Every structure is written in structure tokens, then in C-alpha cells.
A and B are shown apart, each in its own frame.
Chain A
Amino acid sequence: MIITFILNGMPRKAKIRSGDRLSTILTEENLPIKSLMPDCLSGHCGKCLIIMDKRLVYSCLVPAFRARDAEILTIEGLSDSDDVRDIQKGFHEAHCHPCSFCKNAKTLAIWDLLNRIPLPTEGQIEETLSVVSCACTDPVSLKKAVLIAAELKNQRKYHRADK
């Protein structure tokens, strides 16, 4: 079966078999996606997170056929955006250094959170970051990074000057 979908703003086609997971299609087909590392295939690690039709989902748990006509966003589609730059700056300023394995997933999860909630509470941040289970960073600096990113984004949005 051949399905079409929009990946990072570009129309794409993929040949799928029944039982294929979306993560398999996105990583194994000749698609320019290098950010996903779906190794647990059970929705535990969170390293295969994508935005599908504006929702943050584990691509390893989505059957490939569900991607038909869907709009899929990965970190590659956002890498040049101001929002991602804010998040990276947040990581840097909070001295938070996620490992190469989870950095993309954490960035995408934070991007999704800040898109939905401009000023997230601590509980909302914790809930969001729980979707990626990698204990490489300390929780305090990670939360701080999200708050810095939120502040930077709001400064840009409302044309506020730096403090």
C-alpha cells in the first residue's frame, strides 16, 4: 500500500506493509529524517516523538497507515525556527545538557508544550518532560531551561526587550 503524507511541509509518499509502524517508515524509507531513535518500540523511551496533526505522539505506537494524509513534523522541520533556537538557548543558559540520544525528543516535547501553553506551570512542565525517559540531565536545570525558553519566546512574541 502506498500512502501520502506531509512531512515537515513537503508532500511524501511511502510504501507500507500491514503491521508497519510509523517510526519504521520514517527511519527506514529514504526520508531525510535522522532525529528519531525508535529502539524500545513500546512508548517508553520517547526517542521517536513526532508531532502528528498537531499532537505529540510516539511514532513507534502509531500504525503506519494512520499517517495517510497526515501532517507530520519532526525536529528537522523546526531546526531553523526561532522557537527551537529559544529552547537551545534555554538549555545553554540553564546549564542543561541533554545527551545526543534524547535532545531532539526533549526539544520537540518542549516546543509542543510552549506552543500550547505560553507560560507553563511546573506541573505542566513535569508532565510534558515525563514523555521522554532519559535520566541524562538533572530535573532542576531541565525545568529551568523550559522556563527560560518560555520567557524568550514571550519576549519575541510581544516584542519585549531583554530584562
Chain B
Amino acid sequence: MSAIKSGEQLPILSLLEVKEMLFAATIRATVAHASEFKIQREPLPLGYRMILPEDLAKDGLSLEFSHGILLFATDTIQYRGEPLGLIVGPDPVLCDDLASNVKVSYREAEPQFSWTTFPSSRIAARKKIRIGTSDRASLLETPGQHRERTTHWTGSFDHEYSEPSAALAVWEYDKLVVYCASQWPSHVKSSVSQVLKVPQKDILVRPTDLGQSIEGRIWFPSLIACHAACAAKLCNKPIKILYTRAEDYCFAPKQARSYITIESLSDDQGHLATLDIQLVLNIGAYNPLADELLDHAVLSLLGIYACPVITIDAFAVQTNVIPLGALGNLGSTHGFFALDAHINHLARKYQKTPAEIKAVNMIAKGMTVHGDVQVSSVIPFSKIQQKLETMADFKRKHASYEVIRKRDPASKKGIIRGIAGSFGFQTGDAFLQSPEKNRYSVEVTLEKDLSLTVTTEAAISSENARLMWKRTVSEILSLPERSIHIIQDSVHTKSGCGPMVVSRGVFAINKLVERSCRALQKRRFRESLPLSVNAQMQCNPSIQWTPDGLSGKAFDAASWCGTIIELEVDAVTGRIKPLNIWMVVDAGRIINKTIAEAALRAQAVNALRLCVLDEVVPESLGIESFLAKKRLPFSEIPDINIEFIDSDRTSALGIGELPFTTIPSAYYGALAQALAVELPSIPASPWDVMQIWETP
């Protein structure tokens, strides 16, 4: 095992302590919506201080955090739990106690929880896509054309972070050092600098261990860091904010909910003629990434099917609940699930298998789809499908379960099984709209003792990422992996790095490491050591939105995945138990198969959680729901079998989001087979199963 170099192992924020440190607890709104409110300043014990928005204004600090979001509510309250101020003091428990007992008088307003119907004032972002034109009325009159309409819901989920949200702000001479576990440290720096109204060079962001974040820690840690920084500025002492686990569960962002309606026109063979889609994302009180979420949800709804006419009306809608955002991928789960469920519905309607419907509609090399997207590479659908079906013994099992179900459809006794597959992709593009979010940089230094250090300001989200980069260095420079060190540096450059979302950033950094090592290799025996190479990359999106859809090459840098899930349902209790998951992946060059498999399996478990666990209900989050929360026990995780297919592509591609795009759809396909009923929503609880059965 390699020796750990200083800076390689990041500190754990909840264990960090500094001299004379004070703690801050958040004063929170206790109502979901109020048009006015007033906080009573009451005497506090000696050594404790209340910080309210007016104190920030008095000290010349800015209240605006990002995208018009305020650090603390000032005039109106948008959700229960919204930060109103801070209580700072030496004892964290007493701070929490004092914060929860602050008296606030409200002029309450009717909270807006409904989101499937909404006034235009609550639209935070909107995207309209019109691809192709058709006269639907005349199409409908054409013999053999059928109109089908389905509705799908996805719920909200908790990220189950390794550590509750936290931040520590410490003065070091004239600089403010902020310790924070964020997927986007550069955003922490720019936000703190904006709030304190000081140059970015006076703020240093030191990363702490991020643990498992699955895209919940892109922007929210910056808000907490700003709270800690403001308190540190006003109190002139180090300030730590550490949410309790229950507080984190109740008030940190969760996954956005979606409501999707799909109406299609198709012929008896399942050829899609038109797709009319309406998507509504509930993003809670606010979300600075609303546009990105909508982008990815729409992209996944455009999907991999060559339909000549597609219309999509997509809305991100604000409601009076906690901020809701990304989990697992930036909104793609919603779209893939809904489109796959609709295809499954068509398959049932036309007495075909979903794979047959997919095959007749699948995009293929040489096509121009979704407006102006060129498909210039082979779509490995049939290759993946074939391998997957062999691995899972799919055809035999599917036929057997169908026979059993059809033989005795009224029987709801014993154990019923179902099996289904799905097919999806992950694009190489993370953020389609803001170039600064796609910027990455590394510095690679080869020392005299032939140890090599890769330093990056981007958040290192997993040990697997480190291992992959080490393998890349080792392959190019023939250095043993134990002498390679990967260090996440404090953010000190002006440009910084974009956020690390599941695996896109990891592969961007890998490209930079590869490029730097090749540059080093050329200089290695010509110049004296130590040698350093800096590399920067601005990943330009391969696709752009146009008024008529998309343009570019969306599928060239995509990785592909087919998934089959087999599950059983207890007909007496409604309990659903996943039995097996099979995945076949085409992700270009696989740098290390073991690491890639481990990464896919870990994300597959997270994706499975979306299907089997209860959804979070943001309107009624509280300590009771936290204590009643179910976990996915280790013993209930099914076998996950993964295979990679040989690919002609030489570059390594992202894989971390693939389970999130394929597992929910496959799970619901299998459930639909077992129950002989299509469930419209993620997740489905035993209660939902029993309800569906009992409904005539």
C-alpha cells in the first residue's frame, strides 16, 4: 500500500476543531409561507449572539447569495426551515436550543404545495421544444395509427450523505479560510467573496472529505459556508456550523419531483409518429441549477428513439418546500423512466416485447434526429441487448413469468416474479449552458525521487477516481502506483474548476492527467527533475439547444448501458424484493475493470434505493419522518452482475450515471410484469401494490 502524502487524505469536517472556535446554529422559519415576519431579540446568555439580516447589512455584507437567493429570509418566507438568522456561541447544543426557541411572529400566507397545476408566477425555468411538424388530426385518421397517453411521477429522495452539512470559517492573518465539503469548491470561494464583498484572493477554500454526495452537494455547501463566513466576520472568531443529522435530513436539498405526461401516435408495429410530452419539475422554494435540471430532463425525454415529431413543454416550478434538485444525475432519471414506461405501455398494447418496440424506433448511425443531431457512431443496442439477454436468461424467464401470470391472472397468492430490461445512455456533457461549470485544471509534478503528484482544485469525490487517475499515470509514465499521489488542493486560482458531478468531471480530469503525463514523458529525460506540467480544459458541450430542438453530436461521446432486473412480489404483503440485476455497458476504453465494476455496483445500489425506499415528502419533513426513515439493508441488495462490451472507441467515458438512467425503468418494467398493472410512479411501496390490486 502506498504511503499517504500530506494533503492526500482530506480531513473530516465534523471532527475539525480550532482554538477559540464558536458554533453557530440556524434560526429557522416554522411556517411554510409568510408574507411578513418579525424576529424578537431576547437577551441571550453571556457569550452568545444572535445574527440577523440587519446585522449583515450594518457591517456592509451582502445578503444575496446566488441567482437572487438570499442568505437569510428578509421579507417573505418561502419554506418551513428557511434560514432567518444564526445563534452563535461556545456550546453547540445550547446554540441549537436557543435557535429553536427564538420567537418569530408571522403573517402567514397560504403555502403553495401544488405543482402539477401552477400559475405562471411560479415558473422558475421553462423549455419548449418543437421538432418536426405534423397534422395530428389527419394522422389520427390514418388507419392503424393509435393514440396512447401515459402519466408518470417520480418522488423526492434523500441523498444519505456520509456527513451532515457543515462549514468552518477561520481567520488566518488577513485571509478567511473556509473548510467545506463541496462538489464545487470554486463556487464556495466565489459565493463567500461575493457575500463578504472582498476579493477572491482573500478567501481560501480548503476541501474536506466529501464522502457520498450523489450530486446533492453542488451549491448548498456554498450557502452554509457563507453563513459561517458572515458569522466569522461579525464575531471575529472561527465559526463552525454543523447540522445535526435530523436537521440535515429535514432542511438540506432533496431530489426534485417530476410529473410527466406522454402522448404518442404510433402504428401497429410500434413505430412512433409523434410524441407530445409535458414535464413539470418541482424544484421547491428555489434551485440555482433549475435550468440544468430541466436541460437534462428534456434531453433524456428526447431519448434514443427516432420520432419525426416531438413537442416538449417543460417547466421547473417553485413551491413552498425545501429546495429540491439533483440526485444521481442532473434530472435524467425522470425522463428515462417516463419514456421507458411509455414504451412498455405500447409494447403491452401491441402484444410485443418492449425490446421489439425499442428496436423499431432506435436511432441508428447516419440518422439526423431531434432537430439537427447527427448520429455518427454505431448505437450498440442490439449488441448490448443480445449479451444481456444471454447473461440473464431473459427470454426463458420472461416467457415463464408471462405464462404463469396468464394462466391464473386472478391468483394473488404466494410469490409472483417479473423480469424486464431497459436501455439508456450518459452523455459526455454535464452543463450545457454555463462554460465556467465545464472548466477543469490539474498540475502534475514529477519529483527528483520519481514520485509524482497530481494536484487539482476539483473535488475528488471517490477513492475510485483517485485509483483511476493513478492507473492512467502509471500506464503512461511506467511509475508504480504507490509513488503516485493525488491531492485536492485548496482553491487559490481565479478560474477554479467546475463541479464534479457523478463521473463526468472524473473523466475530464482523467483526460487532463493523460495529457499532462504525455507532456511530461516528452521532457522527462531531457530536462532535470523536478518537472511540472499544468493543464487546463474547457469542455465545450457537444450539443446545443436550437429553436427546433438540438444540434451537434449528442451520442458520439455517450456511454451506453442495458440493464435487466428480476424481482419478486409477495402477493400477501405486497413486499417487493429485487433478486438480480444484470448490466452490460459500453463505455469506450475501460481503464481498470475492477474499479469500473465497483463504481457501477455502488451507484446501482443508490439507484435501486430510488425504487425500493419510501419517498421523502418535503411538505411534512420532521423528526418523526427522519426516525421512521427506511434504509436499504445490506442483506437486501441483490446480486449485481456487470459486463463490459468491447468498444472501438479509444477514450474512456463516464459510467457513474448509467445505473440511474436504466435501473428505475427496468425495475418498473419488471414490477409491471409481476403485477400485470403499470405503476405510474417511483417509488412503489407495498401499500401502493396492495392498493393497485384491490382497485377493481
Within 8 A of B (CB), among A95-152: 95-97, 99-102, 123, 126-127, 129-130, 133-142
Contacts known (A126-B634, A129-B634); A138 close to B598, Cβ less than 8 A: yes
* Cβ contacts A to B, 5 pairs, < 8 Å: A95-B467, A97-B462, A100-B10, A123-B635, A133-B632
A39-B605 in contact (CB<8A): no
B595-A95 in contact (CB<8A): yes
- Docked Cα-Cα span, A42 to B599, in Å, equals 29
**How far, in Å, is B182 (CB) from chain A's closest CB?**
16
> In the complex, which residue of chain A has the Cβ closest to the Cβ of B641?
A140
Is A68 interfacial (CB-CB < 8 Å)?
A: no
Extra A-B contacts (5), CB below 8 Å, given A95-B595, A100-B211: A95-B594, A99-B463, A100-B9, A129-B634, A134-B162
**How far, in Å, is B600 (CB) from chain A's closest CB?**
8
> In the complex, which residue of chain B has the Cβ closest to the Cβ of A129?
B634
List chain B residues, Cβ under 8 A from A123: 635
Is B244 interfacial (CB-CB < 8 Å)?
A: yes
> 1/0 contact trace for B457-474 toward A, CB 8 Å?
000001110010000000
> In the complex, which residue of chain B has the Cβ closest to the Cβ of A123?
B635
Is A37 interfacial (CB-CB < 8 Å)?
A: yes
Q: B interface, how many residues as a size bin?
A: 35 or more
A96-B164 in contact (CB<8A): no
Contacts known (A42-B627, A130-B633, A139-B637); A101 close to B598, Cβ less than 8 A: no
* Partner-B contacts on A (CB < 8 A): 34, 37, 39-42, 44-45, 88, 92, 95-97, 99-102, 123, 126-127, 129-130, 133-142
Most buried by B among A88, A126, A139: A139
* Partner-A contacts on B (CB < 8 A): 1, 9-10, 12, 14-15, 160, 162-164, 209, 211-212, 244-246, 462-464, 467, 594-595, 597-602, 604-606, 609, 626-627, 629, 631-635, 637, 640
**Is chain B's interface secondary structure helix, strand, loop, or mixed overall?**
helix
A37-B601 in contact (CB<8A): no
> In the complex, which residue of chain A has the Cβ closest to the Cβ of B630?
A44
- Docked Cα-Cα span, A155 to B29, in Å, equals 60
Residue A134 contacts which of B212, B595, B633, B635 (CB distance < 8 angstroms)? Answer: B212
List chain B residues, Cβ under 8 A from A133: 160, 631-633
Most buried by A among B160, B162, B604: B162
- Docked Cα-Cα span, A138 to B209, in Å, equals 19
List chain A residues, Cβ under 8 A from B15: 34, 37
- Docked Cα-Cα span, A92 to B481, in Å, equals 13
B12-A138 in contact (CB<8A): no
A101-B602 in contact (CB<8A): no
- Docked Cα-Cα span, A129 to B631, in Å, equals 13
- Docked Cα-Cα span, A136 to B632, in Å, equals 13
> In the complex, which residue of chain A has the Cβ closest to the Cβ of B15?
A34
**How far, in Å, is B622 (CB) from chain A's closest CB?**
14
Most buried by A among B12, B600, B604, B606: B12
B598-A99 in contact (CB<8A): no
**How far, in Å, is B586 (CB) from chain A's closest CB?**
20
B209-A99 in contact (CB<8A): yes
A99-B634 in contact (CB<8A): no
List chain B residues, Cβ under 8 A from A88: 1
A139-B605 in contact (CB<8A): yes
A139-B601 in contact (CB<8A): yes
> In the complex, which residue of chain B has the Cβ closest to the Cβ of A47?
B162
List chain A residues, Cβ under 8 A from B245: 39-42, 45
- Docked Cα-Cα span, A75 to B455, in Å, equals 31
List chain A residues, Cβ under 8 A from B467: 95, 97
**How far, in Å, is B611 (CB) from chain A's closest CB?**
14
**How far, in Å, is B202 (CB) from chain A's closest CB?**
30
Most buried by A among B10, B212, B604: B212
- Docked Cα-Cα span, A142 to B640, in Å, equals 13
List chain B residues, Cβ under 8 A from A42: 245, 626-627
- Docked Cα-Cα span, A37 to B242, in Å, equals 12
A44-B635 in contact (CB<8A): no
Residue A127 contacts which of B211, B597, B605, B635 (CB distance < 8 angstroms)? Answer: B635
**How far, in Å, is A48 (CB) from chain B's closest CB?**
11
B598-A135 in contact (CB<8A): no
A135-B635 in contact (CB<8A): no
List chain A residues, Cβ under 8 A from B10: 100
Residue A37 contacts which of B163, B626, B634 (CB distance < 8 angstroms)? Answer: B163
B209-A101 in contact (CB<8A): yes
Contacts known (A96-B598, A101-B209, A138-B602); A39 close to B14, Cβ less than 8 A: yes
List chain A residues, Cβ under 8 A from B626: 42
